Amino acid sequence: MRNDLHHQDPIVITGIGLVTSVGDNRETAWRSLCDGQSGVRKLQEIYGLPKEFQIGATTEMELFAPGAVKIIRMCERAAAEAWEDAKLEEGQFDPRRFGCAISSHMGDPTFMRERFGVKSQSKEPMPPWWHQWLPNSACSFIANQHGLLGPRLCHSTACASSMMDILAAVRGIQDGQCDIALAGGGEAIDPLMAAGFHRMRVLAAHEDPVQACRPFDRDRNGFVMGEGASMMIFERLSHARSRGANIYAEFLGGTMHAEAHHVTGLGESGETLAHAIQETLRKSGITARDIGYINAHGTGTQQNDIVESKAIHQALGKSAMDTCVSSTKSMLGHLVNAAGGVETAVTALALRDGHLPPTLNLVSPDPACDLDCVPLVARKRNVEFALKLSVAFGGHLVAIALRRWPREQNGVKTGGELRVA
DSSP per-residue string spanning 51-118: GGG-EEE------SSTT--HHHHHHHHHHHHHHHHTT--TTSS-GGGEEEEE-------HHHHHHTT-
Residue 4: its pLDDT value, please?
45
CA 412, 417, 418, 420 dihedral sign is positive
Mean pLDDT of 150-179: 90
Mean pLDDT of 233-238: 97
Question: Residue 148: inside a domain, yes or no?
Answer: yes
Collapsing DSSP to helix, strand or coil, 12 comes out as strand
Mean pLDDT of 158-167: 89
**pLDDT over 70, % of the chain:** 85
Question: How far is 300 from 334, CA to CA, in rounded Å?
Answer: 10
Task: Tell me the whole-structure pTM to 2 decimals.
Answer: 0.90
Q: Which candidate, 322, 257, 326, places its Cα nearest to that of 287?
A: 322
Mean pLDDT of 132-139: 76
Mean pLDDT of 280-297: 97
pLDDT reading at 14 higher than 60: yes
Question: Residue 419: inside a domain, yes or no?
Answer: no
Which residues is 114 bridged to in the sheet? none
Residue 154: its pLDDT value, please?
77
Let me know if 206 is a catalytic residue.
no
Question: How far is 143 from 150, CA to CA, in rounded Å?
Answer: 9
The CA distances from residue 35 to 14, 90, 377, in Å, are 25, 37, 7
Let me know if 297 is a catalytic residue.
yes
Let me know if 213 is a catalytic residue.
no
CATH number for position 95: 3.40.47.10
Question: Residue 360: inside a domain, yes or no?
Answer: yes
Mean pLDDT of 389-395: 79
24 or 155, higher pLDDT: 24
Question: Residue 131: inside a domain, yes or no?
Answer: yes
Question: Residue 41: inside a domain, yes or no?
Answer: yes
44 or 293, higher pLDDT: 293
Most confident of 28-37, 109-118, 257-266, 393-402: 28-37
Which pairing describes strands 98-102 and 152-153: parallel, antiparallel, or unpaired? parallel
Enclosing H/E stretch for 316: helix 302-316
The CA distances from residue 163 to 52, 167, 184, 293, 338, in Å, are 31, 6, 7, 18, 8
pLDDT reading at 416 higher than 90: no
Categorize the per-residue pLDDT at 1 as very low, low, confident or very high, splitting at 50, 70 and 90.
very low
pLDDT reading at 230 higher than 90: yes
End-to-end Cα distance, the chain? 36
Mean pLDDT of 399-419: 69
Is 356 in contact with 383 (CB distance < 8 Å)?
A: yes
Mean pLDDT of 42-56: 82
Domain of residue 97: give its range.
4-406
166 or 408, higher pLDDT: 166
Which residues is 402 bridged to in the sheet? 251, 386
Residue 265: its pLDDT value, please?
66
Categorize the per-residue pLDDT at 140 as very low, low, confident or very high, splitting at 50, 70 and 90.
confident
Catalytic residue among 6, 334, 355, 396: 334
Residues 6+ apart with CB under 8 A from 189: 43, 46, 56, 58, 225, 226, 227
Tens-digit pLDDT profile for residues 357-371:
999 999 999 999 999
Residue 235: its pLDDT value, please?
97
Question: How far is 136 from 134, CA to CA, in rounded Å?
Answer: 5
Mean pLDDT of 400-411: 83
Categorize the per-residue pLDDT at 260 as very low, low, confident or very high, splitting at 50, 70 and 90.
low
Question: Residue 415: inside a domain, yes or no?
Answer: no
Residue 5: its pLDDT value, please?
45
Residues 6+ apart with CB under 8 A from 46: 54, 189, 191, 194, 195
Categorize the per-residue pLDDT at 67 as very low, low, confident or very high, splitting at 50, 70 and 90.
low
Largest separation between any pair of C-alpha atoms in the chain: 63
Tens-digit pLDDT profile for residues 83-97:
999 999 988 999 999
**pLDDT over 90, % of the chain:** 66
323 or 129, higher pLDDT: 323
Mean pLDDT of 28-34: 98
Catalytic residue among 159, 324, 369, 373: 159
Question: Residue 11: inside a domain, yes or no?
Answer: yes
Residues 6+ apart with CB under 8 A from 90: none
Mean pLDDT, rounded, of the chain: 87
Residue 191: its pLDDT value, please?
82
Question: Residue 412: inside a domain, yes or no?
Answer: no
User: What is the DSSP secondary structure assignment for residue 405, as one 8-state letter?
Assistant: P
Catalytic residue among 6, 155, 297, 355: 297
Residue 158: its pLDDT value, please?
75
Among 126-130, 136-140, 345-349, the minimum mean pLDDT is found in 126-130
Residue 142: its pLDDT value, please?
94
Tally the domains of the chain. Answer: 1
Among 113-122, 202-211, 257-266, the minimum mean pLDDT is found in 113-122
Residue 124: its pLDDT value, please?
58
Q: If phi over 0 gives left and psi between -120 and 50 gives alpha, with beta otherwise, what is residue 153?
A: beta
Mean pLDDT of 311-329: 97
Question: How far is 180 from 258, CA to CA, in rounded Å?
Answer: 28
Residue 42: its pLDDT value, please?
93
